[in-house]
Amino acid sequence: MRRRRYLPILAGVIFVIALQAVLSAVGATYYMTQVTMSAYYALVVIGLCLLMGYAGQVSLGHAGFFAIGGYTSAVLTTCNLIAWRESPWVCGCRMLGLVVERQDLYGATLLSFAPWPALMAALVVAGLVAFLIGVPILRLRGHYLAMASLGFGLIIYRIVLGTPLFGQADGVSNVPPFRLAGGLQINGRPAFRVQNYYLAWAAVLASMVLAVNLVHSRVGRALRSIHQNEEAAHSLGVDTYRYKLAVLVLSALLAAAGGVLLTHYNGSIGPSEVTVMKSVRYVAIVAVGGMANLWGAMVMGVVLNFLSLRGVFGTYDDAVFGLILIAMMLFAPEGLLRADWWRTALSRFRRARHA
């Protein structure tokens, strides 16, 4: 059983390496940039799949968590503390390596937070916000929860648009690369393309291991019982409210991590990441992958985001995701990547041909 669980991970690793080999061999390494970005978006999708598919709670505000992560990290790593250079707090942080000095494009000296503490801060903020917002709204169900989460996403959007600290309509740019250990860094420049491709996939596969294990644990079973019948689960002694809250926080953390990493990769973040349409898009991707199908959601997260980033859908980008939502919910609510769906569709097709 346990071995079967890790088989897809192994397949994933092989696929990732093969894809890189093929792309390098045909000289199409530029595709890797979009694959990398799509992989970071897939982190949001994995988190949302846990929340929607397994715990059965809708969220129309997940772009909000992505933005909380991305913006927190962007602001902390681009702010300039040079005016407070002498203050004991800043000196202390500098000695601990939390605050670093660097040169900006014009050679001026910038004193701002290092990416590591910024990442930690972003995760803490996102987790805390998810907890605080989850306490009241997870008591709601159905339409009420959908609208409340939509309202949360809209408020984050308004805050981003209205606050000069977040760059308003321009967003935050000149976010420095994220230097990891051993010379690796999250950096969008072409020279770092291959290593970033692998870093992004490492993040995705690590999240998948986490999510798959969670789903197959006691927690996962509790979540599925909530999805199927919350009252029954509750009466069997499952603390439904606590489980729902925990999954919301976890999925917010994954979304925020995706936001932080993509922001460092792109070097910027803007309000277009926070729109309602972005949140709806994540929901659409989870729906195509099959609500309670982590692998399906992850694969679709990468594929659909990749196609969208390549501009395949043109001006019909949003419309495509809207149509996907409708079609999936009408014809294949369990998702496309399921063997039984194909089997029934195939037999239906055969029957139609014979008739």
Partner 1 sequence: MDRVAVIQYCLSGITHGSVYAIVAIGFNIIYNTTGIINFAQGEFVIAGAMTAISLSAVVPLPAAIALAVLLTMLLGGLIELVFIRQARDASVLRLIIITIGLSIVIREAMLHIWDEKVRSLPFFTGTDTSTVTLAGAHISTQALWVLGVCAVIVAALTAFYRFTATGRAMRACADNRMAARLCGINERRMVTLSFMLSAGIGALAGCVISPVTQTQYDMGAPLAIKGFTVAVLGGLGNSMAAVAAGLLLGLLEAFTVSQFQVAYKEAVSIVVLLLVLVCRPSGLFARRGIVALGGS
* Residues engaged in binding partner 1 (CB under 8 A): 52, 56, 58, 60, 136-137, 139-148, 150-152, 154-155, 158, 161-162, 276-277, 280, 283-284, 287, 315-316, 318-319, 321-326, 329-330, 333
- Kindly state the smallest distance separating residue 52's Cβ from partner 1, in Å: 8
Collapse the DSSP code of 225 into the 3-class scheme (helix H, G, I; strand E, B; otherwise coil) and give the result: helix
Q: With respect to partner 1, which residue has the nearer C-beta, 155 or 180?
A: 155
63 contacts 256 by C-beta, under 8 angstroms: no
- Kindly state the smallest distance separating residue 111's Cβ from partner 1, in Å: 32
Q: With respect to partner 1, which residue has the nearer C-beta, 91 or 326?
A: 326
Q: With respect to partner 1, which residue has the nearer C-beta, 151 or 267?
A: 151
In Å, what is the CA distance from 23 to each residue of 15, 16, 33, 36, 311?
A: 12, 11, 11, 13, 19
Q: With respect to partner 1, which residue has the nearer C-beta, 154 or 337?
A: 154
84 contacts 115 by C-beta, under 8 angstroms: no
- Kindly state the smallest distance separating residue 61's Cβ from partner 1, in Å: 11
Q: What is the spatial distance between Cα 174 and Cα 186, in angstroms, rounded to a whole number? A: 14
Q: With respect to partner 1, which residue has the nearer C-beta, 166 or 178?
A: 166
In Å, what is the CA distance from 287 to each residue of 48, 220, 228, 300, 334?
A: 10, 19, 17, 9, 8
- Kindly state the smallest distance separating residue 269's Cβ from partner 1, in Å: 20
Number of H helices, E strands in the chain: 14, 4
- Kindly state the smallest distance separating residue 282's Cβ from partner 1, in Å: 12
Q: What are phi and psi of 101, to 5 degrees?
A: -100, 140
Burial track 141-163 (b if 16+ CB lie within 10 A, e otherwise): eeeebbebbbebbbebbebbeee
Q: With respect to partner 1, which residue has the nearer C-beta, 111 or 280?
A: 280
- Kindly state the smallest distance separating residue 301's Cβ from partner 1, in Å: 17
- Kindly state the smallest distance separating residue 169's Cβ from partner 1, in Å: 12
Span between the terminal Cα atoms of the chain, in Å: 42
Q: With respect to partner 1, which residue has the nearer C-beta, 90 or 318?
A: 318
